[in-house]
Amino acid sequence: MIMTTINIYSLTGNIEVICTEHCEGFVDYNPRTTSESPIYHDGVVFIDWPNADCDNLAQHGYRHRSGVYSLRVAHLEKFQVYCEMSGLRGWTVIQRRIGGQINFFRSKKEYVNGFGDLETEFWLGLQKIYLLTNQRRYKLRVSLQKADGSFVYSEYESFGINQDYVLHVSGYNGTAGDALNYRGFGRKRLHNGMSFTTYDDDNDRWSDDNCGRSTTPGLDVTKDGVSHGEQ
């Protein structure tokens, strides 16, 4: 099985939780349902404070259970994310691919809004990633499981996209290679500093082609601007 996971977590910031006396009981729940109220209720967890993410959840008692949580970021309506809890940190998963169950050959609109199933394969959505990464500094980790079962990874100490969905990363470390800064093919495959490209919205450096149309999504799953993870 070949698997690709892309995670982010915040490097700064601390949020105070508004909580009732029942707060501690929710460590053992896998939150799936939301409520309009900012208060916790039995069986329901809705995180309704500004600038929330999975790392905030980990810091406030939820680091023992990975799963789907509901957040509200900036002025966006509440939306769900998959939180991967690891030690004391909580990673917000922005993409997961496992064996090609979901078609990633999608339109720009679909990549902006997100698609898939948070429990299996999905893409979180460019607009959500933009709002998340512009509230504070974030670190990016791309994890790849190869056909032989071994894992490789790439980490970037700083990660974000702007309102035009232009990728900005720096501070590479890892074992999978610095593919986001790859300058081969006349810089046609350079991702850092590039806008997101899909088959119906060409923003790459290829004057004679469109990588979002000519490259079939495999492990090179997210076109120019997020990850190039060929193995």
- Evaluate if residue 166 carries a pLDDT over 70: yes
- For residues 48 and 29, the answer to whether their CB atoms sit within 8 Å is no
**Domain around 126:** 3-166
The mean pLDDT of 165-175, rounded to a whole number, is 92
Asked whether the beta carbons of 161 and 180 are under 8 A apart, the reply is: no
Task: Report pLDDT for 180.
Answer: 84
Condensed to tens digits (0 to 9), the pLDDT of residues 112-137 reads 999 999 989 999 999 999 988 888 88
Q: Number of helices (H) and strands (E), helices first, in the chain? A: 4, 9
Flag whether 61 is in a domain.
yes
- Does residue 213 lie in a domain region? no
Q: Which pLDDT score, from 0 to 100, does residue 221 have?
A: 33
214-222 mean pLDDT: 39
| 21 assigned to some structural domain | yes
Distance of CA 73 to the CA centre of its chain: 14
Examine residue 60 and state whether it is found in any structural domain, yes or no: yes
CATH number of the domain to which 96 belongs: 3.90.215.10
Task: Dump pLDDT digits (tens) for 13-65.
Answer: 443 333 333 333 333 233 333 344 344 444 444 555 555 788 888 887 777 78
Q: Would you say residue 222 lies in a domain?
A: no
Cα separation, 98 vs 41, whole angstroms = 34
**Count of domains observed in the chain:** 1
- Selection from 117, 71, 65 nearest residue 96 by Cα: 117
Q: Which of 102, 145, 110, 106 is nearest to 127 (CA)?
A: 110
Task: Please compute the mean of the pLDDT values over residues 166-182 and round it to a whole number.
Answer: 88
Averaged over 212-225, what is the pLDDT? 39
Chain mean pLDDT for the chain = 71
CA angle 102, 32, 143 (to 5 degrees): 45
Share of the chain above pLDDT 70, in %: 61
Q: What per-residue confidence (pLDDT) applies to 139? A: 92
**Per-residue pLDDT at 190:** 61
| Residue 176 located in a structural domain | no
**pLDDT the model gives residue 223:** 35
Show the beta-strand stretches assigned E in the chain: 3-10, 67-71, 79-86, 89-98, 115-116, 122-123, 138-145, 151-161, 167-174
Q: With respect to residue 133, please indicate whether it lies within any of the assigned structural domains.
A: yes
Q: Give the tokens for residue 82.
A: 């998959």
Neighbours of 120 (CB within 10 A): 13
Of 51, 40, 47, nearest to 14 by C-alpha is: 51
DSSP state of 185: G
> Within a domain: residue 174?
no
The pLDDT of residue 13: 45
Q: Given a cut of 60, is residue 164 above it in pLDDT?
A: yes
What is the model's pTM? 0.72
